[in-house]
Each structure stands twice: as C-alpha cells, then as structure tokens.
Amino acid sequence: MNPSDLDPVRRLRVMAGATPGCVLLERVIPAPFDTVWAVVADLERELPRYQPHVRTLRVTPGRGDRLDVLALGRAGLCARFDAVLRPGWCWMQSHHIVFGLAAVPVPGGTLLARAGATRRPGLRRLLMPLLRRDFGRELDRFESRVRARLTRDTAP
C-alpha cells in the first residue's frame, strides 16, 4: 500500500507509531469537516486559543502547502517549525517537538486526531503521561472553538 492511499487520520497514526514517545488521541467532533478544519487551518488565531503552551504563532507561507511557523510560548520559549498544511492534514516539526492534527468526515461529525512528542529522549518517558492528559484537555478546548465557530456562522 502506498502511504498516499491512506486517509489523513490513518497517515497520522502511522507517523505517531513511527515517532518515539509520540502520544496520539482521537475524538469525534460533532461538526462538519469544513468547520473543524477551518479551526485547524486558522493557525495564527486559533492554535493559541486551544493549545495552552503557545502564546502567539506567526505563519509565513512557503512553497505550496509548506509553511514556516514561529511559536512563542507562555514560558518565553521560542520554536521554529517546518509545517505542512493541507485539507485534513497538519504536521509541524521543530528541533525539539513534533505536532500533528488530522481529520476526516465520519458519521456524526469529524474524526480529529492529535499527535505530538518531544524529540528529546530523556524527556519522553516523563512527558508521555502528561501529554496524554494535556491533549485530552486541548481537544476539549478545540471542540469549544469549533462550537463557537458554528454559533458564529449560524447567527443571523
């Protein structure tokens, strides 16, 4: 099977499985794919609202679906990410962190998958249980951003 034959969520599962220490969580968001993906794709405005460690994000377009992303953390840390953003797929990687989101339409809404890991071997064991907890909370905040967008888009 060719990797390009996989839908975005299956592809993210493969990436997470091949990335040491990667945590992957999935959730069905009760909203249309286009609404869910609009929240993901609006990286500069939305990601700092659902990802608690990011204060600001600056995106510079690259070639095609490639982006350069500069993230400033709440603790004052700064990271530059190489990113790919296309419908249903977002993969960002820096020297220290990998971050991924993928989505596909499913009955009842959109299946959203969130993956992430540190590339620092000494921290992986320590961070995995924390990431699992934090990703669950992050998906709660993400879902609330989708609900806000749905409300805004359907308001008279």
Reported as type and span, the H/E element at residue 131 is helix 121-154
Q: Distance (Å, rounded) from C-alpha 145 to C-alpha 45?
A: 11
* Amino acid at site 94: S
* pLDDT tens-digit profile, the chain (156 residues): 565 689 999 999 999 999 988 889 999 999 999 999 999 999 999 999 998 889 998 999 888 899 999 999 888 888 999 999 999 999 999 988 899 999 999 999 999 999 998 877 666 666 666 777 788 898 999 999 999 999 887 666
User: What φ, ψ does residue 71 adopt, rounded to 5°?
Assistant: -110, 130
DSSP designation for 153 = H
Pick the CATH number of 3-151 from 1.20.120.1200, 3.30.530.20, 3.50.50.60, 3.30.830.10: 3.30.530.20
pLDDT in tens, 123-149: 666 666 677 778 889 899 999 999 999
Query: Is 41 in contact with 58 (CB distance < 8 Å)?
Result: no
Among residues 149, 132, 119, the alpha carbon closest in space to that of 27 is found at 132
Among residues 40, 48, 51, 50, the alpha carbon closest in space to that of 87 is found at 40
Query: Is 44 in contact with 60 (CB distance < 8 Å)?
Result: no
pLDDT in tens, 11-26: 999 999 999 888 899 9
Residues with Cβ within 8 Å of residue 6, at least 6 apart in sequence: 14
- Tokens, residue 29: 């968001």
